[in-house]
Amino acid sequence: MGKKKKDKFDGVPIREQFKPIFRERFLEMLENNESEYEKLLDYLVMPQKKSFRINTIKDRTTDEIFENLKNKNLKLTPVSWSKNAYFVEYDKNDETCRSDLGNLVEHFLGEIYVQEATSMTPPELLEIPDKIDDDFMVLDMCSAPGSKTTQIGMMMKNKGVLVANELDYKRLGPLKINLERSGLSNVVIINNDGCMINGEEKFDRICLDAPCSGSGVIRKSPKTIKTYNPKKLKMIQNIQLKLLDRASELLKTGGIMTYSTCSMDPEENELCIQKFMEKHPEMELVKAELPSLILNNKLKSFQGVDILPEITEKTIRIWPQDNDTNGFYAAKFVKKNIEG
């Protein structure tokens, strides 16, 4: 066997691995506020904070599951913007304190779903009704591994039809396992390019968590620091716009669509939404609101391009340093009738 190629970052502290282009771009996003940028780095080099949500369609009540978890010495604090969701606070000075969510029997039984807290935001914005008809249809356009799919299915209480689409067939296995463990029976899995899904005005709700650069999940995947390359953002944005175009066609008039990424780069977020809105006057951007979510450092412009005030004010940009989470972005649309 040949020798493993030495990584030039071996032995280099994570904080010093950020590329100059990262500093340049993110300083601009933060209006050249050095202390805010340093605070961002402080959070990006921290391990991702663990969180989960309780599955409300299981036999045991949410109160029973919650009390059982507390009795196992998990220190839990609510995720304010998502129902029945909790952060796990690890106390290294308490030898009995647990944070190994994946080892819990509740995880294997599907009573809890381990999910990063920002990932819970799009389903919360979809306004799934408490009571839905059998013909109520929801599309999760890029669904694997199923975090948002299982959350939406839970909100639908196994009623109506939830279509879970995934392009990569290799990811269908984990998606299927997560759906089964969550006890969902109203889900249809399809293996398709989201841009090629057939039909017109089929769905009452669409969740588009688009493929992205992943610059918001450095806490989860530190290797993203090394692979960060803004030159790829134009190509990624083109894919995102094609998915948005198709989603707008598939959404019923009066229906709600969410767009989200786990990126902090404007090209995939505000600037992508701005291009989409220029082409689709029928898609009305509505204010995305979630309780107690701290939203500082909203973007008004980037690299000489002004961002519409409507986008700045109505969409959600989550910075890691504000909520002790990953970085995330979400927008919410309603399709209106513009005929006549």
Name the β-bridge partners of 335. Answer: 283
Q: What is the CATH number of the domain that holds 78?
A: 3.30.70.1170
Residue 4, pLDDT above cutoff 60? no
Average pLDDT (197-220) is 96
With respect to residue 30, please indicate whether it lies within any of the assigned structural domains: no
Contact 117, 87 (CB under 8 A): yes
Is position 128 within any domain? Answer: yes
Residue 182 and residue 319 in one domain:
yes
Domain match, 85 and 63 both = yes
Residue where a domain stops, chosen among 67, 98, 114: 114
d(CA 32, CA 325): 22
> Pick from 94, 114, 134: which residue ends a domain?
114
- Of 136, 140, 107, 110, whose CA–CA distance to 122 is shortest? 140
Name the catalytic one among 207, 212, 262, 272.
262
**Predicted local confidence at residue 11, as pLDDT:** 63
**What pLDDT, on the 0 to 100 scale, is given for residue 257?**
98
The stretches of 30-83 forming alpha helices (DSSP H) are 34-44, 62-71
C-alpha span between 24 and 275 (Å, rounded) = 24
| pLDDT over threshold 90, residue 119 | yes
| Whether residue 134 sits in one domain with residue 74 | no
Does pLDDT of 7 surpass 70? Answer: no
CB 176, CB 164: distance < 8 Å = no
Residue 96: strand, helix, or coil: coil
Number of H-type helices and E-type strands within the chain: 12, 14
* Owner of token pair 């692979």: 227
Query: Are 279 and 331 members of one domain?
Result: yes
Residue 4 lies in a domain: no
What's the pLDDT at 222? 92
The span from the first CA to the last CA of the chain, in angstroms, equals 71
The reply to whether 44 falls in a domain is no
pLDDT at 308: 98
Answer yes or no: is 33 within a domain. Answer: no
104 and 124 in one domain? no
Please write the tens of the pLDDT for every residue from 305-318. Answer: 999 999 999 999 99
Q: Flag whether pLDDT at 1 surpasses 70.
A: no
Looking at the structure, tell me whether residues 187 and 322 fall in a common domain: yes
Alpha-carbon 183 to chain mean position: 22
69 and 172 together in one domain: no
Tell me if the bond preceding 145 is cis, omega within 30° of 0.
Answer: yes
CB of 162 closer than 8 Å to CB of 184: yes
Domain match, 123 and 206 both: yes
Residues 80 and 162 reside in one and the same domain = no
Q: Which of 73, 95, 114 is the last residue of a domain?
A: 114
Check whether residue 185 and residue 231 sit in a common domain. yes
Residue 19 pLDDT > 70 = yes
Evaluate if residue 271 carries a pLDDT over 50. yes
Buried b (16+ CB within 10 A) or exposed e, 111-150: bbbebbbbbbbbbbbbebeeebeeebbbbbbbbbbbbbbb
pLDDT band at 114 (very low <50, low <70, confident <90, very high): very high
The answer to the question of residue 154 being in a domain is yes
Establish if 43 belongs to a structural domain: no
Mean pLDDT of 16-30: 96
Strand pairing class (51-54; 85-89): antiparallel
3, pLDDT greater than 90: no
pLDDT at res. 318: 98
Q: What local confidence, expressed as pLDDT, does residue 181 receive?
A: 96
- The enclosing domain of 251 has a CATH number of 3.40.50.150
Contact (CB, 8 A) for 147 and 119 = yes
**Are 207 and 156 within one domain?**
yes
Domain tally for the chain?
A: 2
Looking at the predicted structure, is the pLDDT value of residue 338 above 90? no
Which segment of 17-31, 87-101, 273-287 scores lowest on mean pLDDT?
A: 87-101
Residues 84 and 126 in one domain: no
Q: Is residue 191 part of a domain?
A: yes
pLDDT at 340 over 50: no
**pLDDT, mean over the chain:** 94
Active site residue 142: no
Residue-wise pLDDT for 131-163, tens only, equals: 999 999 999 999 999 999 999 999 999 999 999
Domain of 84, in residue numbers:
51-114
Contact 201, 251 (CB under 8 A): yes
